[in-house]
Chains A and B, each alone.
Chain A
Amino acid sequence: MTDRTPVLVLGLGNVVCTDDGAGIAAIHKLLREYDMPEGVLALDGGTLGLSLLPLVDNADQVILVDAIKADGPPGTQVRIEGEEVAPAVYERLSPHQIGVADLLAGASLLDRYPDRVVVIGVVPESIDLGVERTPAVEASIPELVDRVVQELTAMGYPPVRSSEIRDESHGSAAHVARTLGV
């Protein structure tokens, strides 16, 4: 197929549940500060679960950016790859865990699981209701963005830092990102 996505970078999480929105905040920061090379599609996937299937099962490599429950204090950087991904997604307790599990299982059932799935994220402190992230997690977002950039670079798709910080896209998507504080 000619219209496949070589690399999909998908921010996941809920921006109205404090640190659960870390992945979303990271993806918007990435899009503001970098130009994605051809072949890379970076998107805010929210908590959409199965509705993201057409994006995921059409991608060769997928980087999921998310809050991840793991050992370590809030803000600790976490990276999961390969066979560890599915159990990690099932075990995590967050308001959107089921959607991500369904999503990956769906791709697997259709025999279109991406060649490679990497989850990059940070350990949350709170996933209570709220539009602001806790200080430790907010402070970890620049490093999270750097790690996504490194991952893309290692995959052979280095993003280029844009000369000026700008809206990631024209029109309403950028407006929504500003509105939501991400």
Chain B
Amino acid sequence: MTHIVVDPVTRIEGHLRIEAEINEGQVSDAWSSSTMFRGIEIILQGRDPRDAWAFTQRICGVCTTVHAIASIRAVEDAIGAKPPPNARILRNLIIASQCIQDHVIHFYHLHALDWVDIVSALSADPKETAALAQSISDWPKSSATYFKGIQDRVKGLVDRGQLGPFANAYWGHSAYKLPPAANLMAVAHYLEALEWQREFIKMHAILGGKNPHLQSFLVGGMATPVDPDKQASLNIHTIAQFKKLIAGAQEFVSKVYIPDLLAVASFYKDWAGYGAGVGNYMVYGEYPLDDEANPDLYIKPGIIRARDISKVEEFDPSKITEQITHSWYDYAGGEEAALHPSAGETKPNYTGPEPPYERLDTSKKYSWLKSPRYEGVPMEVGPLSRMLVNYVRGHEQVQGLVNHVLKTLGVGPEALFSTLGRVAARGIETQLLVDKIGDWVDELADNMGKGELRIHDNSKWEPESWPADCMGAGFHEAPRGSLGHWVHVKNAKIERYQCVVPSTWNAGPRDSGDVPGPYEAALVGTPVADPEQPIEILRTVHSFDPCMACGVHVVEPGGREITRVKAR
């Protein structure tokens, strides 16, 4: 038996480490550990709840907007603020554009190199690549000359030793299945996606100003003025800019991302049989479509259990708890307690080995993540959960897109419960959102036309207007999955704050009943051809989008580090 340690670094909440046992060429058991304390909750205690979003926005550099959204929603829920329609629309635009950009970056820049061999691309015949590209899409950049140019550029980088993010991986590994021509196409689109995302995220610059961090959030609404005739506002010109960026996004996603996804997936259909995980899927729901107390949501909430896609349960936030049996925390109520986030506690108590260490004692506490559970059961969150729940609930657009992908690949819905299913669901969701986001721009333009320019509910700005003691929850579907913030406000100050983030749901450790979390369960059964180059483990972990680059350490059974491989 070989014991492998994969020690990647996530940017969402510090460092993520995977330990795995390999038996007869496949993972027989796995443990997921976050090795960095994340305790934003402690920093927030005693602060003005209206400022909380500015702090939570800095939890993670890659998804700044998501913690701002969850935070303002939680505080609004607590104090009873009601954002006007334009604030809802602007938030939908921010959330959807963040998700679209994030998914494209994930596919091309964080995950593609697990499937695409750059070195093989150098030996491709550009004519074959052109023929392949033209057979799957009418995207204009598809000539042999164009692909030859890309190949020369990458060759130049290799020759100068400037591979950058391409430098560290498993080139030539037997697990790479794409022919050279397809590898070259994917490399070209890697570069095009880099260029495209750089343009598309101007959506955020328009919505939040030149400052890289969106400063336009505000409890009770937004701080971005809306006025069709004013220069410094979102106006008729910005509507036109949005439309142009969205049209470009639609074209890129439907002509590049989705065809690439289908082309790559067709060579890796065996990965529809690996990486299923816990088989329970949870969605909080996102994109409010009206301004009622319980608005209709474009992406519906729900729970699917045990891969049973004959039914969806309603999501009930009161059923969420967090356990710490295997987490470096104390609970006043003891080791076995399971606390709802509204009564959550963040009392760190590190009992792990002194770093640097070779192995964690996984029979004890082994992670800085808690174990979130829904009615005591682990849940996977993210694009796959969202697309499954909405597929089963009869969401017309989701059904259409999912069926198209399944039909093209010649597989049934059961193929979705897998590493490949997770990758496909992310692409499907991207298409869903680029097709929808324009509707919110139209709604904003309509409001401008009607003279509905309100962006903020001032009635609950002053703390005097708040209940002396109130609690609230803010739910958000971040690109990586369901995110919840819970806040308790007492005498105008934050008494308690708890965040349960998507990666805690997915990457959390075993619970009090020793039931593995989603990463841990998904890795069991994953084939590993070469324990010194465990690219297959990265494929499954990356399919959850943990937003990381990783250094991979491979450890002999005796525990000695025999090689150190740096992955992206």
Chain A positions near chain B (C-beta within 8 angstroms):
14-16, 41, 43-55, 57, 86, 95-99, 101-102, 104-106, 108-111, 128-131, 171-173, 176, 179-180
> Which B residues are in CB contact (< 8 Å) with A130?
43
Q: How far is the CB of B87 from chain A (nearest CB, A)?
A: 14
Asked whether any CB of chain A lies closer than 8 Å to the CB of B303, the reply is: no
Whether A110 pairs with B212 at a CB distance below 8 angstroms is no
Instruction: Mark interface residues in B324-341 (1 if CB within 8 Å of A CB, else 0).
Output: 000000000000000000
- Beta-carbon contact of B11 and A96 below 8 Å: yes
Q: Is the CB of B58 within 8 A of A50?
A: no
- Complex Cα gap A102–B548 (Å): 11
Residues 20-39 of B contacting A (Cβ, < 8 Å): 36-39
Query: Quick one: closest B residue to A24, CB to CB?
Result: B58
Determine if B58 and A47 form an interchain contact, defined as CB atoms under 8 angstroms apart.
yes
Min Cβ gap B54→A in Å is: 5
Q: Min CB distance, A84 to chain B, in Å?
A: 14
Tell me the nearest residue of chain B to A93, going by C-beta.
B9
Q: Which 10 A-B pairs have the closest CB atoms?
A: A47-B61, A105-B164, A172-B215, A98-B549, A179-B51, A176-B54, A179-B54, A173-B215, A54-B198, A16-B58
A48 touches B61 (CB 8 A): yes
Q: Does the CB pair B43–A131 fall under 8 Å?
A: yes
In the complex, what's the smallest C-beta–C-beta distance from B52 to chain A, in angstroms?
Answer: 9
In the assembled complex, which residues on chain A have CB atoms less than 8 Å from the CB atom of B197?
A: 50, 53
Q: Tell me, in angstroms, the Cα distance from A130 to B85 when the chains sit together.
A: 36
Known: A43-B211, A110-B194, A176-B215. A96 touches B37 (CB 8 A): no
Taking the nearest CB of chain B, how far is it from the CB of A153, in angstroms?
Answer: 24
Instruction: Tell me, in angstroms, the Cα distance from A46 to B195 when the chains sit together.
Output: 22
Contact with A along B194-227 (1 / 0, CB 8 A): 1101110110110001111101101000010000
Task: Report the separation of the CA atoms of residues A175 and B59 in the bound assembly, to the nearest whole angstrom.
Answer: 18
Q: Which residue of B lies closest to A45 (CB)?
A: B212
- List the B side residues contacting A180 at CB < 8 Å: 54-55, 58
Alpha-carbon distance A180/B211, docked complex (angstroms):
15
Whether the Cβ atoms of B218 and A172 lie closer than 8 Å is yes
| Residue pair A99, B11 in contact (C-beta under 8 Å) | yes
* Known pairs A47-B11, A129-B39, A131-B43; A109 contacts B194 (CB<8 A): yes
**Is B109 a contact of A129 with CB atoms below 8 Å?**
no
Asked if B212 and A43 make an inter-chain contact with CB atoms under 8 angstroms apart, the answer reads: yes
Decide: A57 near B38, CB < 8 A? Known: A99-B61, A109-B191. Answer: no
Q: Assess A53 versus B198: contact at CB under 8 Å? Given A15-B58, A46-B213, A179-B51.
A: yes
Could you tell me if B548 and A173 are in contact, using CB atoms closer than 8 angstroms? Answer: no
Q: Provide the bound-state CA to CA distance between A99 and B58, in Å.
A: 14
Q: Which residues of B contact A50 (CB under 8 A)?
A: 105, 109, 197
Task: Report the bound CA distance from A162 to B48 in whole Å.
Answer: 31
CB closest chain-A residue, reference B14 = A95
Question: With A46-B213, A101-B549 given, can you name 13 additional A-B contacts, CB distance below 8 Å?
Answer: A14-B58, A47-B60, A48-B62, A48-B212, A53-B194, A97-B9, A98-B548, A99-B62, A101-B165, A106-B198, A130-B43, A176-B215, A180-B54
CB<8 Å pairs between A and B, sample of 22: A14-B61, A15-B58, A16-B58, A41-B210, A43-B212, A44-B212, A46-B61, A46-B64, A47-B11, A47-B62, A49-B11, A50-B197, A53-B197, A95-B36, A95-B61, A98-B9, A99-B11, A110-B195, A171-B215, A173-B211, A180-B55, A180-B58
Closest chain B CB from A56 CB (angstroms) = 10
Q: Which residue of A lies closest to B195 (CB)?
A: A110
Q: Is B169 an interface residue (CB 8 A)?
A: no
B11 touches A129 (CB 8 A): no
CB distance from A18 to the nearest CB of B (A): 11
Contact A44 B211 (CB under 8 A): yes
Which residue of A51, A109, A172, A179 is within 8 Å of B201 (Cβ)? A51
Shortest beta-carbon distance from A108 to chain B in Å? 6
- Residues of B contacting A47 with CB < 8 Å? 11, 58, 60-62
Minimum Cβ distance to chain B for residue A27 (Å): 11
| In the bound complex, CA of A101 to CA of B223 (Å) | 32
Q: How far apart are A160's CB and chain B's nearest CB, in angstroms?
A: 21
Q: Report A-chain residues with C-beta under 8 Å of the C-beta of B201.
A: 51, 54
B112–chain A nearest beta-carbon distance, Å: 13
B162 at the interface (CB under 8 A from A): yes
With both chains docked as a complex, state the minimum distance between the C-beta of A124 and any C-beta of chain B, in angstroms. Answer: 15
Residues in B whose Cβ lies below 8 Å from that of A110:
191, 194-195, 198
Query: Shortest distance in angstroms between A150's beta carbon and chain B's nearest beta carbon?
Result: 25
